[in-house]
Structure 1
Amino acid sequence: MTPALTIGSALLYMWALIQSLPFAAAYFGGSYIKAIVWAAVAMAAILIAGAAAARRLGPKSFLLLLVAASLAVRLGWVLWIDTPPVSDFKDMYDAAVRGAGGDFSFAGNEYFSRWAYLVGFTLYETVVVKLFGASVLVLKLLNAVFGAATAVVVYRIGKACFNAYCGRIAALLYAFYLPNIMMCSVLTNQHLSTLLFTLGCGLLATGRLRSRFGWLWIGLLFAAGQIIRPLGAFYVVAAVVYGLVWLVRRPENARRTVLLARLAGLAVVYFVVLQLVGQLLIGAGIARYPLAAQEPYWKFMVGLNRETTGGWSQADTDYALSFPLGSVRDEAELTLLRERLRTVELKSLLWDKARLLWGADDASAYWSLYQTKQAQLQADFNRAERAFYLAMAAFGVIGALALLRRRAEERGYALFALLLVGYAAIHLVIEIQTRYRLDMMPAFVLLQSFGIYTVHQWMQTARQHIPNWRHSPWKKSRSL
């Protein structure tokens, strides 16, 4: 299964590379050559940054610089860009302000009845507002902290799964990837949930399932992530699949039994915590429904909307709201879903959805700069994002192909290949938005970091065969 996963991730990176090129060219006057040139410049900049970080800084110095720099750039962004809450972000923030005043009646309105899983993140915002006042700036500053913390976690995972070089370059790319920075000024639940899910995956990938209580912490982190953003079930399934494949290949029967029990315990902890939290909130009168979507067919129905290429649809929203919430609305949505399965050209739709999700420019510039004084800078930031996304996709192809020589189960990075491939597969049939790529960015940068390391090693080998190549940034790195 591991070679198949690695090949699958290689194909995904290649798909992202090919499909993002025309979108990138649109920001360079329609010129594919200019897009490729700027992507090459981005690749060179990444290689130089990686070599410099490897040569010049010890482990402690690097971590300090990583935290300081990633925090500084995010703090600078949220202080410069005054993004007002809009759309769902505004609904959750307004509800949090009411909740801080003791009014939780919002949980019974149409919005939170449909998307009851958003109550968890809204309550997080409620606590922040209660402690610090109704200022969006504090929430944005916390986003910056979560982003910087995730970069540190990515570093730890990359170092454990590959080597220190990969850990450093993956952390740097995560810390300075423009959409990660720009979205800090947006009150999205992605910042905190990504940190929690990445922590859980890091524990799993680095072998903590072998420890006595590692399974407990992984289950708790996935449950906490689910309370903030409804992706927990995806991570639990990925963890179980990864664990089963890993365990089946182990010869020690006794040890296998223990690890299987811990894997089951992980899933049990996840589901029990969610049930307990949901019932406690309902009992306290804070929530009206369990923390789960009350329209199970919505994302599938929208995901097969040909007119929006699987994106959010106002027409679908109006259609759903014309029926009362519950079994009647479920049946109406299921009816439309079945109709689309019969009438829509699925191959064409799925192709276009995959092309948009993995190839189109990230929507972070829109969400961050919308209704601000800097709105005119969207094209400039998109141009930079396109160049670096192309570069990372190219390194991803190299890294995934290079990983075919290694035993992924032993090093843990098969988990991240599984996450990428699984995430891509699921979004073929459910609603898509390009900002959803940010949920998988830790896995995306971790796997492609091995491609950067591979090219770095090629450069080292070339240096040894070229006399008089002195003072090069590719000079052999000292021990990390």
Structure 2
Amino acid sequence: MAVLIAIFSYLVNRFLSAKSFLIILLAVGFGMRIVWIMMEKTPPASDFGVMYRSALKAVRGDFTFLHSPYYSSWVYQLGFTYYEALLLNLFGNQLFMLKLFNVFFSMGTTVLIYLIARKGLNECSARVAALLYTLYIPNVLYCSVLTNQYISTFMFILGIYFLIGKGLSEKYIWLWIGLALGMGNMMRPLGSFFLLGMGVFVFIYMILPFRKKESIYYIKRLAGVLLVYIIFQQLISFGFLQTGLSVKPLSNQEPYWKFTLGLNAHSNGTWNAEDQRYVNQFKVGQARNQAEKTLVQERLKDRKGVIRLFGNKFKAFWGKPDAGPYWAFRGLKQPILQLSLVIYERLMYIVSCLLIIGNVLLMKKENKLLPLLCIFAAGYAAVHLVIEIQTRYRFDILPVLFLLAGYGVYGFKQYIQDKLINRLN
């Protein structure tokens, strides 16, 4: 796999212009994904099935699902539910169209990865990162799953593009960053994470060391991003409440639930029926929140156990095979193809991780995009030490990882060239 990546990287950088590369990449990427969603009729299941069926009801004007236990706890899922309802209203009850929009957002993210790396790194890194993201098999497989991760990831990476590709000093860019993160958060509640990561980056590299005029300028810009992000969320929530599209504000009604699961050493931080049965005894709201908070506090008392749990979770979250084949083949009986794709994913993922490690070792201090990417990667790893883990959750940070891997290829290339030149001299 490492040899194949090296060969492909050499070919796309040596013989293709930027325009030709993008055309071929988009053609291959779209082709793979469209063939996949046409061939494999993955049925909606689990949370994705709940949101799909709720979207169908919303199209018919039936909003009884708003009072279900699912939406009573996870009100924030309404954003994606109504997104699906909009598409169903436009195109009819066509699962293919919902999946096709997954394809559009997947390839849109690919283009953003290329543009970010081209601006913040170099052409070689941009092509490799975009190529790796396009060919990474879970990015293809999840297209047949009605996941909210494609559109949210696109919006979050769009926010990064505005920050890196345009620059925070660009007129009104703070507005577009806030809107992109806010829209992404409407689909999947990770906006605060990306907002915090950007805030840390801007503080370290633009505000510090404090220079009165320049630092205050960037503080205002950062405050503008935060303000737009918050106002957007509040306006959408208020609009949903006023129009009857929601009976509660669009927020997480169980803020301690993910921590309850994530700190369960017996389940290694994954979902488990025991915790679910326990908290179901309590009504959603203050009673359940207090019960979950008590569990979290009890589990944190065993400090050695918590440290051991963190180590086990880190290995599981970053080391186990991606759940893409599991979700994509759910309800389908094709074990040989599923196993083959798992092996392909493992090989490509391991090589990419090695490239990322090499990238960190060879990182150049003058480049600002790399520290931003490292802030996101390290922050994402830290967050998942304490909350529930699923390997599917790696999907949200994959663009960042492949940007790092893309620069890893470039770094090794430069390192080898420098060694050869030194030997020749």
TM-score > 0.5, shorter chain as reference: yes
Question: Of the candidates 436, 457, 479, which is equivalent to residue 414 of structure 2?
Answer: 457
Instruction: List per-residue Cα deviations over 1:242-272 (Å, max 9, x = no partner).
Output: 1111123367532322221010010010011
Match of residue 267 from structure 1: 226
Mapped to 2, the partners of 1:465 and 1:334 lie a distance apart of 60
2:115–2:165 CA contact under 8 A, matched in 1: no
| 1:419 counterpart = 2:376 | yes
SS of the residue 1:103 aligns to: coil
Mapped to 1, the partners of 2:111 and 2:290 lie a distance apart of 46
Match of residue 21 from structure 1: none
Deviation of the 1:462 alpha carbon:
6.8
Match of residue 436 from structure 1: 393
2:207–2:218 CA contact under 8 A, matched in 1: no
Mapped to 1, the partners of 2:177 and 2:78 lie a distance apart of 22
| 1:238 counterpart = 2:182 | no
Distance 1:250 1:348, change over 3 A: closer
2:181–2:195 CA contact under 8 A, matched in 1: yes
Question: Of the candidates 334, 340, 356, which is equivalent to residue 380 of structure 1?
Answer: 340
1:205–1:413 CA contact under 8 A, matched in 2: no
User: What are structure 2's unaligned runs of at least 5 residues?
Assistant: none
Mapped to 2, the partners of 1:319 and 1:187 lie a distance apart of 29
Deviation of the 1:103 alpha carbon:
1.4
Deviation of the 1:365 alpha carbon:
0.6
Mapped to 2, the partners of 1:337 and 1:252 lie a distance apart of 42
Instruction: Choose 334-343 or 218-227, whichever is displaced more.
Output: 334-343
Distance 1:318 1:204, change over 3 A: same
Instruction: List per-residue Cα deviations over 1:175-228 (Å, max 9, x = no partner).
Output: 110111111111010001000000101211235211110100000000000000
Match of residue 362 from structure 2: 402
Question: Of the candidates 220, 223, 236, which is equivalent to residue 277 of structure 1?
Answer: 236
Mapped to 2, the partners of 1:379 and 1:373 lie a distance apart of 12
Mapped to 2, the partners of 1:242 and 1:439 lie a distance apart of 19
2:125–2:410 CA contact under 8 A, matched in 1: yes
1:81–1:374 CA contact under 8 A, matched in 2: no
| 1:357 counterpart = 2:317 | yes
AA in 1 matched with 2:386: V
Instruction: List per-residue Cα deviations over 1:157-185 (Å, max 9, x = no partner).
Output: 11111100100000000011011111111
Instruction: List per-residue Cα deviations over 1:390-410 (Å, max 9, x = no partner).
Output: 11011111111111x32233x
Question: Of the candidates 40, 50, 55, which is equivalent to residue 91 of structure 1?
Answer: 50
2:207–2:219 CA contact under 8 A, matched in 1: no
Instruction: List per-residue Cα deviations over 1:65-113 (Å, max 9, x = no partner).
Output: 1211111111111111111011101000000000111112212211011
Matches within 5 A, 1:285-300: 285-300=244-259
Match of residue 446 from structure 1: 403
Deviation of the 1:368 alpha carbon:
0.5
Question: Of the candidates 101, 104, 108, which is equivalent to residue 60 of structure 2?
Answer: 101
Mapped to 2, the partners of 1:74 and 1:293 lie a distance apart of 33
AA in 2 matched with 1:196: M
AA in 1 matched with 2:52: Y
| 1:329 counterpart = 2:322 | no
Instruction: List per-residue Cα deviations over 1:122-148 (Å, max 9, x = no partner).
Output: 000000011111121111111011111
Match of residue 110 from structure 1: 69
Root mean square deviation of aligned Cα: 1.7
| 1:213 counterpart = 2:162 | no
Deviation of the 1:386 alpha carbon:
0.7
SS of the residue 2:301 aligns to: helix
Question: Of the candidates 63, 79, 83, which is equivalent to residue 120 of structure 1?
Answer: 79
Instruction: List per-residue Cα deviations over 1:286-318 (Å, max 9, x = no partner).
Output: 111121110011000110111210011122112
Match of residue 141 from structure 2: 182
Q: TM-score, normalised by structure 2?
A: 0.96
| 1:46 counterpart = 2:20 | no
AA in 2 matched with 1:352: N
Instruction: List per-residue Cα deviations over 1:19-71 (Å, max 9, x = no partner).
Output: xxxxxxxxxxxxxxxxxxxxxxx111111111100111111111111211111
Mapped to 2, the partners of 1:373 and 1:130 lie a distance apart of 32
2:121–2:367 CA contact under 8 A, matched in 1: no
SS of the residue 2:132 aligns to: helix
Question: Of the candidates 114, 119, 126, which is equivalent to residue 160 of structure 1?
Answer: 119
Match of residue 75 from structure 1: 34
2:265–2:309 CA contact under 8 A, matched in 1: yes
AA in 1 matched with 2:56: V
AA in 1 matched with 2:409: I
2:257–2:292 CA contact under 8 A, matched in 1: yes
AA in 1 matched with 2:372: L
Deviation of the 1:459 alpha carbon:
4.8
AA in 1 matched with 2:337: L
Q: How many residues align?
A: 423
